[in-house]
A and B are shown apart, each in its own frame.
Chain A
Amino acid sequence: GEDVEQSLFLSVREGDSSVINCTYTDSSSTYLYWYKQEPGAGLQLLTYIFSNMDMKQDQRLTVLLNKKDKHLSLRIADTQTGDSAIYFCAESQDDKIIFGKGTRLHILP
């Protein structure tokens, strides 16, 4: 199966919280990442979490890691129209980064 899996679409009303979920397969991954890609642009590293952490909060972003279940989530509080983008979950494997297929976040007015 795929190394990193995530749902493809998420619709959220403006002001609500968005939660994007991801599962990965490599338990030896040192870092897990969330990247944001806006239309026609490259990737922007949003946040990361070290594999021995359970949670990381950075302003509106909260990352939760369940290492036992190999489950990672990204919560965006008070979702804004500018948050509309594709969000990629990724894991580190040696020198490489393995990406999921991305979750397209759509903001409803």
Chain B
Amino acid sequence: GAVVSQHPSWVICKSGTSVKIECRSLDFQATTMFWYRQFPKQSLMLMATSNEGSKATYEQGVEKDKFLINHASLTLSTLTVTSAHPEDSSFYICSAKAAGTTHSNQPQHFGDGTRLSIL
């Protein structure tokens, strides 16, 4: 149980294109989803926290107009990288927290990540 599906797993596109990444909780409802960015050989950096039906909370230094997050349902959150440029190339990982979870042994379930390459 507790599977998070992230799509696409790899995307290559031209500079200036907008790219949408989907994060779905397949067998549970997720009131909260998280978006992380990981640079090569680096840790995961939390970009934003996405709550169903409300605006996302962005971490300091993350441009909200650049990284648009929508969490329209309890099973889907999307991250859109607008007008992507080569410096946006990275590995993006989402995670989802099950509804009703407070502190637990696994508060977040992770997707397999999306590798974004901007040419």
Binding site for B on A (CB under 8 A): 30-31, 40-45, 48, 50, 88, 92, 95-97, 99-102, 104
The 5 closest A-B pairs by CB, nearest first: A42-B112, A101-B43, A43-B110, A42-B110, A42-B113
Cβ contact within 8 Å between A96 and B46: yes
Instruction: Give the distance to chain A from B50, nearest Cβ to Cβ, in Å.
Output: 11
Q: Can you name 30 A-B residue pairings with CB atoms under 8 Å? A: A30-B103, A31-B107, A40-B113, A41-B113, A42-B6, A42-B110, A42-B112, A42-B113, A43-B44, A43-B93, A43-B110, A44-B110, A45-B106, A45-B110, A48-B106, A50-B105, A88-B43, A88-B44, A92-B103, A95-B32, A95-B107, A96-B34, A96-B49, A97-B95, A97-B107, A97-B108, A99-B44, A101-B42, A101-B43, A102-B41
User: Are B49 and A95 in touch, CB under 8 angstroms?
Assistant: yes
The A-contacting residues of B in range 25-66, CB under 8 angstroms, are: 32, 34, 41-44, 46, 49
Q: Does B85 contact A (CB under 8 A)?
A: no
A30 contact set on B, CB distance < 8 A: 103
Q: In chain B between 92 and 110, which residues have their CB closer than 8 angstroms to a CB of chain A?
A: 93, 95, 97, 103-108, 110
